Amino acid sequence: MEFFERFAVPHPSPMIYASMVAIGLVIIAIIAGLSYFKKWGYLWNEWLTTTDHKRIGIMYIISALLMLFRGGADAVMMRLQTAVPENTFLDAQHYNEVFTTHGVVMIIFMAMAFIIGLMNFVVPLQIGARDVAFPRLNALSFWLYFAGAMLFNISFVIGGSPDAGWTNYYPLASTDFSTSVGVNYYNWALQISGIGTLISGINFIATIMKMRAPGMTLMKMPMFVWSALITNAIIVFAFPVLTIALLMGTFDRQLGTFFFATDNGGMDMMWANLFWIWGHPEVYILILPAFGVYSQIIATFSERNLYGYTSMVASMVVISLLSFLVWVHHFFTMGQDAMTNSIFSITTMAIAVPTGIKIFNWLLTMWKGKIRFTTPMLYSVAFIPLFTIGGVTGVMLAIASADYQYHNTMFLVAHFHNVIIPGVVFAMIAGLIYWWPKMFGFMLNERIGKWAFWFIVVGFCLAFFPMYITGLDGQARRMYTYSEATGFAPLSMLSFIGAALLAVGFAIIVYNIYYSFRNSPRNIGSDPWNARSLEWATHNPVPEYNFAVTPEVVSSEALWDAKKRGHKLFKNKIEKIHMPNNTGWPIIMAGLFFVFGFSFVFFIWSGVIISGLAILGCMAYRSFKQDDGRYIPVEEIKETEDKFGGANE
């Protein structure tokens, strides 16, 4: 009986049932639509089994947008719960689960997926490659991420969501205090998706180092490619730490070991150290690609070359190194000696210096430029002051003695969101709008996009700036309610109103996609933004093979030089192009990983053994399988070039 109770709906409330019904209806509608229009074959052959980096990137972005709304629903529930004192909308346990899943979904399954999606789509185009170095491995990366995301998201329906916070601190995450299977879900969902991310990191490093177009030296790469290279280097060094930490936590919870226990020689602070040795570089895994996006957009819409290219590259390299030397600032109040706190206080402040250099680079790029306030540029301009405020409050938190006042208050929540939302979310929206024509062949409506921008910016300020004040007044984070006497109610209600405006802004973005699909013209040319880098030298949308002829570049502003200085990008004749075949094994492998993780969560050892052996068998089969791909004939390439106007000529 206890075995079956593990699978019970954890919160038999109307909200949970309504969510289950809504999700079920959406799934039924999708299945019915695919069946009615006979699109199952198209979906399988063109998307689910694709090895095309562009379609994989789009699937990452679609998944990230779904997770954005999933995590956004959690955020609105939290702000609604704390909008008034002694609210009973959520109970304490449910609130714990909501803020835990919100953090994990937004950081791991939304932000990470969004940046990897943009890197997938843009990086090969910017370096003049036809795909990533390992296309089938790239598909496996996506499907492992997707399997991990789905495993995590079924937890609130089957068995119960994790409830120990997104940092999953021990002993709170141990079986003594988290008795449901929620933390098991956390361990295995992050483990599976993390393997996919690590594979992506290796793949992109190989792609950037070995597949650049002729003439593109490292110091002639576009800034987004530089940000991708440094980010993936951080991934390769940081994610193995998370892998081992999650494995040790799994052993503690499910196999009876004592790595993080508070008895039998265990050390709960070892988890905190291992988590943040990964976790703080993770912040820069999110923010560095955003810096690359802003660099591309600000240069394009200021109609100037990026100011201080070399210093931008150097500052990103310094940030990547310092990102591994600041993790202890996450537990200044947990018992380290004064010397340790002082050292990490200094390194935390030091990392603000290269970040400040980048702010001045962007400002000087705009200085005397012919600025066009398009929607992507509005997000980029808004980012600078908002991110600076977040950075200044970060320096406040870096003062170890003062952190005793700030730590575990809403001040810290405000700081983190003040960095991540303008620094990452704004960049991802701006990048999506900027590269949308490359993805789908039409522009998003600028007027509607600007409405969304103002709702999001105003909503962000209203949602998080009040938290600085209530945090300094003593409002603790992670508390599901408070009394009327605290005086937090007015500003907490203002935060809820801001969260609602944010939700409206994101809904407007969805409407903009629908409206633009129905109404936007498709004959927009290959470079509607008058951009500067190489990806805009091909068609909208980009053909399967990217470039009919391999480009030859002379600078990081390859397209701009071709337009203004007469440099010829495409010098060779069109020849047949070799492309990898689509394959179904990545989605099959990911399905097996899903079964393996789900079985381990619920101690179904037969499922663990069978799916584990199947995974090993699938890997062995792929190791010996020869797949030479296929060739696109010259006639088909020329036909496509003629259809889109011959952008490669």
Do 574 and 588 belong together in one domain?
Answer: no
Q: What single letter denotes the amino acid at residue 45?
A: N
If one counts the domains in the chain, the total is: 2
pLDDT at res. 352:
92
Q: Is 215 left (phi over 0), alpha (psi -120 to 50) or beta?
A: left
Residue 21 domain flag: no
Residues 232 and 375 in one domain: yes
What per-residue confidence (pLDDT) applies to 622? 85
Encode pLDDT of 211-226 as tens digits.
999 999 999 999 999 9
Quick check: 597 pLDDT over 80?
yes
Rounded distance, CA 294 to CA 312, Å? 12
Residue 97 lies in a domain: yes
The rounded distance, in Å, linking the Cα atoms of 452 and 437 is 19
pLDDT confidence bin for 400, thresholds 50/70/90: very high
Position 465 in a domain:
yes
Are both 251 and 372 inside the same structural domain? yes
More confident of the two residues 623 and 277? 277
CATH number at residue 639: 1.20.210.10
Q: Which helix (H) or strand (E) holds 632?
A: strand 630-632
132 with 60: CB under 8 angstroms?
Answer: no
Specify if 488 maps to a domain: yes
Amino acid at 194: G
The pLDDT value recorded for residue 17 is: 66
- Residue 424 in domain: yes
Q: What are the residues facing 631 on neighbouring strands?
A: 578
Residue 391: which residues within 8 A CB-CB, separation 6 or more?
352, 355, 356, 419
Q: Is 622 a domain residue?
A: yes
- The predicted structure's pLDDT at residue 558: 86
For residues 504 and 591, state if they share a domain: no
- Comparing C-alpha atoms, which of 140, 97, 121, 118 is closest to residue 10? 97
pLDDT digits (tens, 9 = 90+) for 420-437: 999 999 999 999 999 999
Mean pLDDT, residues 77-94: 93
The pLDDT of residue 1 is 45
Task: Give the domain extent around 48.
Answer: 39-583+627-644
| Residue 575 and residue 591 in one domain | no
Are both 544 and 606 inside the same structural domain? no
pLDDT digit string, tens, across residues 122-150: 999 999 999 999 999 999 999 999 999 99
Instruction: Please check whether residues 462 and 611 belong to one and the same domain.
Output: no
CB hemisphere CA count around 586 (13 angstroms): 25
Considering only residues 645 and 364, tell me which one the structure prediction assigns the higher pLDDT.
364
Phi, psi at 388, each rounded to 5°: -65, -40
pLDDT band at 156 (very low <50, low <70, confident <90, very high): confident
The residues with which 409 forms a beta bridge, in sequence order, are 476
Give the count of alpha carbons within 13 A of 451, CB side only. 11
pLDDT of the residue at 627:
74
- Rounded-to-integer distance, Cα 267 and Cα 174, Å: 12
CA-CA distance, 415 to 18, in Å (whole number)? 34
For residue 617, tell me if it sits in a domain: yes
Query: Cis omega before residue 222 (within 30°)?
Result: no
DSSP-assigned letter for residue 409: B
Q: Per-residue pLDDT tens for 580-591?
A: 999 999 999 999
> Do 443 and 590 have their domain in common?
no
**Residue of 173, 152, 403 lying closest to 271 (CA atoms):** 173
In a domain, 14, yes or no: no
Q: Is 533 found in the same domain as 391? A: yes
Same domain, 295 and 322: yes
364 pLDDT exceeds 60?
Answer: yes
Furthest C-alpha separation in the chain: 77
Same structural domain, 266 and 340:
yes
- Do 206 and 339 belong to one domain? yes
